[in-house]
Amino acid sequence: MLRKRAAARAGPQEGMSRPRLPTGKRRRQKAAVPSAVSQPAPQWNSFAPAAPPVAVGETAIEADGEALTTVGFTLSGKDVPCQPGQTVLMTARAAGVRIGAACESGICGTCRVLKLSGEVEMNHNGGILDDEIEEGYILACCSRPKTDVQVEA
């Protein structure tokens, strides 16, 4: 003898009506993009250096007429003037000298180069060891030349 089983049924139950879906013209009107007036203006961030890079071969002069510091890249054979506030990495990029860099904030140590001569102000965030600094290494991303500098790059 077969017994009737109660089974759950998907969709509306008896006595309930199905929701009406928009079709045709109503669907296109609902899908239309709202007017541009209600859209917020896009926000843009600029990560460009404060001072524009100096082209290779140009001489940069400070306001008082004094020549700026020069960064020499020994492996590529280029000597490039460095704008005040620019890092060794910024100067290298302006000259077309390739120095690897990842974080550009002195954390990862990817931009470590050997400083052969000169003085720099280096404000790093732990991307270089004290032993490496004593050996003459600097992080190009956070080192600003104080005097003419020669680096191995």
Residue 63's pLDDT is what? Answer: 44
Flag whether 16 is in a domain. Answer: no
Residue 102 sits in a domain whose CATH number is 3.10.20.30
For residue 101, what pLDDT is reported? 93
Task: Tell which residue, 97, 96, 91, has the closest CA to residue 54.
Answer: 91
Cα separation of the two ends of the chain: 91
Residues 6 or more apart whose CB falls under 8 angstroms from that of 60 comprise 54, 67, 68, 81, 82, 83
Query: Of the ranges 15-24, 75-84, 92-101, which one carries the lowest mean pLDDT score?
Result: 15-24
Q: Is the pLDDT of residue 105 over 80?
A: yes
Identify whether 13 is part of a domain: no
pLDDT tens for residues 18-75?
A: 666 666 665 565 555 555 555 666 666 555 554 455 454 444 455 455 458 999 999 9
Domain-embedded: residue 131 = yes
Residues 153/99, Cβ–Cβ less than 8 Å: yes
| DSSP state for residue 63 in the 8-state scheme | T
31 domain residue, yes or no: no
Please tell me the total count of domains within the chain. 1
Examine residue 18 and state whether it is found in any structural domain, yes or no: no
Is 136 within the bounds of a domain? yes
Structural domain boundaries enclosing 143: 69-151
pLDDT score for 95: 94
The verdict on residue 51 lying in a domain is no
Q: Alpha-carbon distance 135 to 129, whole Å?
A: 10
DSSP codes, 111-149: TEEEEEES-EEE--SSSS-HHHHHHTEEEGGGEEESS-E
Tell me the C-alpha distance between 80 and 82, whole Å.
Answer: 6
The proportion of the chain whose per-residue pLDDT surpasses 70, expressed as a percent, equals: 56
State pTM to two decimals.
0.58
Q: Is 88 within a domain? A: yes
